Amino acid sequence: MFIQTARQIAQEAHRGQTYDGEPFFDKHTQGVVRIVELAAPSPDYVKAAYLHDVVEDSEMRLSELHSFDFSDQVISAVAALTRLPTHIESYSDYIHHLCSGSLEHKKIARLVKWADLTFNFANCLHNPEFQILLPRYQDALTRIIPLLIEDHK
């Protein structure tokens, strides 16, 4: 499955959403993808980066991604990245779950989450109303970065 398909799905899923006053896809999704592209060892990482918020922030269901013939690695990575409002787990437990395991989809998910957190962290630095989230992002980054180093040795 082509990266362009993942891009189109994300663009449509985030239509009308905003991030810091700008279109969500243009600002956040593309920002995360740019970071992932710098570090991604395969196209599956870029596909997961495009799709990382699709299930969480739109009407798209994880099961629908199967109809686009994405690899099991990409779909499993998106599943690991997805934290729905109906989930009972805390954010800390979500990060712990993301950090556990060494299967390929977890490696993809961790790299994408690192890019997501890095982008959000940078955005918070210049946006006072979001600075309350900095400790949360810092904690998650501190937990994920050592695993990324191991994942990509």
The rounded percent of the chain whose pLDDT value lies above 70 is: 98
**Composition of the chain by helix, strand, coil, percent to 5:** 75, 5, 25
CATH class of 3-151: mainly alpha
Question: Which CA distances in Å does 21 have to 17, 30, 43, 52, 72?
Answer: 9, 15, 30, 20, 34
* Residue 41 burial (CB count, 10 A): 11
What are the DSSP calls for 47-71, one per residue? HHHHHTTHHHHSS--HHHHGGGT--
Q: Grade residue 54 by pLDDT with cuts at 50, 70 and 90.
A: very high
Q: What is the reported pLDDT for 152?
A: 87
Q: What is the reported pLDDT for 88?
A: 76
How remote is the C-alpha of 130 from its chain's centroid?
Answer: 19
Q: What is the reported pLDDT for 126?
A: 87
The phi and psi torsions of 121 (rounded to 5 degrees) equal -60, -50
Question: Which CA distances in Å does 67 have to 19, 73, 74?
Answer: 28, 15, 13
pLDDT in tens, 118-151: 999 999 998 888 899 999 999 999 999 999 999 9
Say how far apart CA 46 and CA 6 lie, in whole Å: 9
Q: Is 24 or 84 the better-scoring residue by pLDDT? A: 24
Token pair belonging to 13: 């899923």
Which of 6-10, 26-30, 102-106, 109-113 has the least mean pLDDT?
102-106
pTM for the model stands at: 0.95
pLDDT at 77 over 90: yes
Q: Is 20 or 144 the better-scoring residue by pLDDT? A: 144
> Which residues are within 8 A (CB) of 147 and not within 5 positions of it... i.e. 6 or more apart?
99, 110
Q: Grade residue 1 by pLDDT with cuts at 50, 70 and 90.
A: low
